[in-house]
Each structure stands twice: as C-alpha cells, then as structure tokens.
C-alpha cells in the first residue's frame, strides 16, 4: 500500500516524490515506462567518454530563488553560460538577435540607441500579434525574420509560423546591447556530474520505491495507492476521449569524432541549410577534456511515441481545456509537468510547478 503513486520520473515526478517522501514522511511508488529516470534530461557517458544527453542539450537556468535552492541540494553546477550562433550565408550570427547581429547582418556600426531606432523603421506595426510570424515582424521586420526565424520555425515545428502561437517566437528576446548570452537568468549552468546523478540523489529516499520499464496500465490494477500524481500525457490518461494532443519530437543522430573539437561553440543553428535544425557539441558545455568529441544533429519530426514539445496553437489549447475539465472531476489525482499540463516548460518551470503543487497535496 502506497500513499502516492507517481507516474513519470522526470523533473516533475522526481521533485514531487522527493518532497512527499522527505517532508510528509509518506510512502511513494514512482514508475517510468523508460529504462532510466530523468525523463528527457537523462544523460550518460558515451563510447568516447563524453557526457551526452540522449534527448538533446539541456542547460539549466532560472531566476527563481526557491527553485535554485531546491535543485542545489542535489547537484553542483559549472559556470557554463549558454551561447547560440546561427549560420546564414556562410557567416555566424549571435542569437538571440542583439546589437552584434544587427550590425553584422546589415553591415552597419550602430550604437544601442541607433539600433533601436533603425529596427523601429524595419518593423511592421502590429499591436496584437496573432501568431509566431507576426510576433517577430512586429519587432524586427521582414528581413531578419526571413533569415533567422521563418525556415527554422517551419523545420522545428513542421508547421507554418502563421499557424503557431506568438509565444513560440516570443521566447527569444531582442537585445540592443552586445549581450551574447542565450539566457539572462541569474543562475545558469550544467550539473558537473550530469543530470542523471541529480535524479539518483532525489529518488534515493527510503520512502521512495522506483520501478522502471513499467507502464501505468501494468500497475493500475495491481498496486494499491491513495493518491495519484500523473506526469504523462493527459490525453492518454483519458483514453484520448477528446482526441490526441499533438507533440513535436526530435530524431537525434550522434557522431563520435576523433578530434578535440568539431565546432567553436556548443550550439550552432541552421535556419535555412540542411534538414537538421542544429548541431550540438557537448564538451563546450561540460568542460570535459579528451581527444574525442561527440556531436549531435537534431532532425525535428512527428513521433507519437516520443513526445517532446507540446504544439502551441489555439486549436490545441481548446482540446487541452476539455481534458482539464475532465481532470477537475477526479479526486486525489493530480496532473503536472510538460505532458500533464500541455505546456512548453523549461526545466526550472517544471520544478516550480511541482513545488507549487506540493502545498495543494498537503492540503
């Protein structure tokens, strides 16, 4: 008999499991259909002795003091500050778009104030952008949008930017200074011992039992529990009653290369060239030193068995709201995480949502 059954051992499930076990002294069973913990944050040492992420690069960043305090109990982070570059017409440009990008692209030498005024003349006045395309052109105009956003967004989501919410492209700021950091959060870095070690420590409490390679359907009729916390797909929980919520996935191809470094930066985006969206080289992030390097090329795809990104659109929000209404009818069942909330969360947001759920569970 368990006080709580938790489905999924990513950051949502692991965070709430640790809180329940350590703060409430309750018995928790956490299950995962995969062979590992950590959800899409799972990482491992590959054949070239490099620490790599099976499901793509993950850089931890947050402005939340409570989130940082929580995660710091289980990991020490290095000082890596994420920078991303985009290849366009043979040249590398800083992303998010900043003063360097603007000057390099337009072959100018503008100051911050001049760059702001310059883009004011480029942007298309749209007071309330309705989609991902309008969100960008209303800030920086057509030229930069077509060069860095349009085709990349199309590849990443498999949809025209006009079909996606403005939130998709609004995630990236526009900067008029030379700040090259991808994230501006106070706390940033990569866990020195990897993400997998975080989950090992979070789930090591004596009140937590972990079962891997187990489907929810396998335990629902055989395990007794008082409360359920579900971090899987909310539409799947309800048997797709109102239809499937779509998720974009990624086919990641890893390559081991006998050289110290393959590229100058951890991430280089390919907005227009090639089928892949970016090449990631992990050693730039982990600070490892060896004679081999590992890169990965990311090919976005539709793969229903590997859901990565909820697809933000008005139609999908409407479907999700129907499932949310279904969830409100249940007692002692809680949904959280990217899949449970159908939200494009960062890692810290997933942890934050789980920490916010904990008081509701207590009450």
If asked whether residues 123 and 227 sit together in one domain, one would say no
If asked whether residues 231 and 339 sit together in one domain, one would say yes
On whether residue 181 sits in a domain, the answer given is no
If asked whether residues 222 and 352 sit together in one domain, one would say yes
Q: Is residue 160 a contact partner of residue 195, using CB atoms and an 8 Å limit?
A: no
On whether residue 110 sits in a domain, the answer given is yes
If asked whether residues 324 and 240 sit together in one domain, one would say yes
On whether residue 262 sits in a domain, the answer given is no
If asked whether residues 331 and 223 sit together in one domain, one would say yes
On whether residue 352 sits in a domain, the answer given is yes
On whether residue 236 sits in a domain, the answer given is yes
Q: Which pLDDT value is given to residue 160?
A: 95
Q: Which pLDDT value is given to residue 127?
A: 87
Q: Which pLDDT value is given to residue 130?
A: 93
Task: Answer with the one of 126, 149, 170 that is the final residue of a domain.
Answer: 170
If asked whether residues 103 and 166 sit together in one domain, one would say yes
On whether residue 48 sits in a domain, the answer given is no
> Does the N-terminal peptide bond of residue 164 adopt cis geometry, omega within 30 degrees of 0?
no
If asked whether residues 142 and 30 sit together in one domain, one would say no
Q: What is the mean pLDDT of each run of 10 residues along the chain (363 residues)?
A: 97 98 97 97 97 97 98 98 96 96 97 96 93 95 97 96 92 92 96 98 98 95 95 97 97 97 98 95 96 98 94 95 97 96 96 96 87
If asked whether residues 220 and 315 sit together in one domain, one would say yes
If asked whether residues 230 and 314 sit together in one domain, one would say yes
Q: What is the number of structural domains in the chain?
A: 2
On whether residue 265 sits in a domain, the answer given is no
Task: Answer with the one of 170, 185, 216 that is the final residue of a domain.
Answer: 170
If asked whether residues 99 and 150 sit together in one domain, one would say yes
If asked whether residues 221 and 159 sit together in one domain, one would say no
**Domain encompassing residue 111:** 84-170
Give me the CATH number covering residue 320. 3.40.50.720
On whether residue 11 sits in a domain, the answer given is yes
Task: Answer with the one of 119, 152, 170 that is the final residue of a domain.
Answer: 170
If asked whether residues 224 and 316 sit together in one domain, one would say yes
Q: Which pLDDT value is given to residue 170?
A: 83
Q: Which pLDDT value is given to residue 155?
A: 96
């Amino acid at each position: 008999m368990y006080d709580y059954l938790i489905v999924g051992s990513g950051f949502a499930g692991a965070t709430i499991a640790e809180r329940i076990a350590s703060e409430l002294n309750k018995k928790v069973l956490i299950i995962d259909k995969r062979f590992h913990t950590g959800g899409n944050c799972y990482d491992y040492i590959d054949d070239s002795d490099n620490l790599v992420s099976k499901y793509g690069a993950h850089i931890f960043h947050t402005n939340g003091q409570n989130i940082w305090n929580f995660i710091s109990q289980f990991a020490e982070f290095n000082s890596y500050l994420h920078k991303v570059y985009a290849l366009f017409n043979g040249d590398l440009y800083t992303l998010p778009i900043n003063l360097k990008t603007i000057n390099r692209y337009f072959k100018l030498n503008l100051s911050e104030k001049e760059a702001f005024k310059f883009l004011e003349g480029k942007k298309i006045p749209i007071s309330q952008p309705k989609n991902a395309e309008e969100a960008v052109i209303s800030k920086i105009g057509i030229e930069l949008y077509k060069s860095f956003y349009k085709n990349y967004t199309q590849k990443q989501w498999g949809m025209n930017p006009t079909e996606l919410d403005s939130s998709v492209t609004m995630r990236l700021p526009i900067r008029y200074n030379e700040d090259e950091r991808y994230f501006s959060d106070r706390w940033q870095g990569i866990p020195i011992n990897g993400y997998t070690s975080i989950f090992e420590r979070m789930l090591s409490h004596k009140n937590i039992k972990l079962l891997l390679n187990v489907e929810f359907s396998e335990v629902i009729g055989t395990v007794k529990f008082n409360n359920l916390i579900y971090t899987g797909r909310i539409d799947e929980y309800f048997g797709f009653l109102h239809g499937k919520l779509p998720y974009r996935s990624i086919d990641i191809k890893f390559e081991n290369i006998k050289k110290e470094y393959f590229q100058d930066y951890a991430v280089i985006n390919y907005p227009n060239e090639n089928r892949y969206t970016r090449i990631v080289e992990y050693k730039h992030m982990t600070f490892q030193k060896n004679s081999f390097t590992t890169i990965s090329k990311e090919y976005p795809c539709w793969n229903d068995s590997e859901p990565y990104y909820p697809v933000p659109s008005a139609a999908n929000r409407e479907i999700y709201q129907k499932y949310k209404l279904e969830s409100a009818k249940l007692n002692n069942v809680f949904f959280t995480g990217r899949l449970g909330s159908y939200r494009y969360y960062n890692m810290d947001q997933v942890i934050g949502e789980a920490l916010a759920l904990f008081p509701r569970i207590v009450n």
